[in-house]
Structure 1
């Protein structure tokens, strides 16, 4: 039952469209918080809150490089999340549908 509870908690996070979109974009590459701020037109604290929730459940990894924080997927051991993400469109399709191009000062 404990494993079922853990999986349910992780899948709950995917019920939020912003977090699901973030994970879909992370299938392609790692992203900087500043890029997500531009993509989602949200404040940095709001983006960080979403990413904190994903990190707390072990779904994303965080790497600090200078003043920038980059996030990457951590779902190799979570086939149920991989299955959901396999059904999502490509990162390019997502960005295109949002009319977004990403240019970040963190590069």
Structure 2
């Protein structure tokens, strides 16, 4: 099996984006599925414009995909991105973020954008 190499520039760009705690947390949250902006706002306790700015950087770099459902946009991990193997490795090394989503669910705050 031939190992594909990731271009240095792509790797550096991805690692730079993941070097931000907020963006790394967002990536950890979408690792297990899709999330809406309102969920990021609740989990990260940040303003919606601030979250949107982080998401825009991740989306513009192609690290996350977005899907519109009605008036809401849901984000998920882009597993077809060339640097996905790096992202996967990084996400395996950080604490699982599912607990934060579970806490939201228990508080009745998960997907309040339906």
- Residue equivalent to 1:26: 30
- Residue equivalent to 1:105: 112
RMSD of aligned residue pairs (Cα, Å)? 2.1
Deviation readout 1:23-67 (Å, 9 max, x if unpaired): 111111200001111111111110000000001111000011111
Structure 1 unaligned runs (5+)? none
Q: TM-score, normalised by structure 1?
A: 0.85
Residues in 1 aligned to 2:77 and 2:68: alpha-carbon distance in whole angstroms: 15
Aligned residues: 103
Runs of 4+ in 1 over 3 A off after TM superposition: none
Residues in 1 aligned to 2:49 and 2:37: alpha-carbon distance in whole angstroms: 10
Q: TM-score, normalised by structure 2?
A: 0.80
- Rg bigger for which structure? 2
Deviation readout 1:75-99 (Å, 9 max, x if unpaired): 3442111111111222234x28xxx
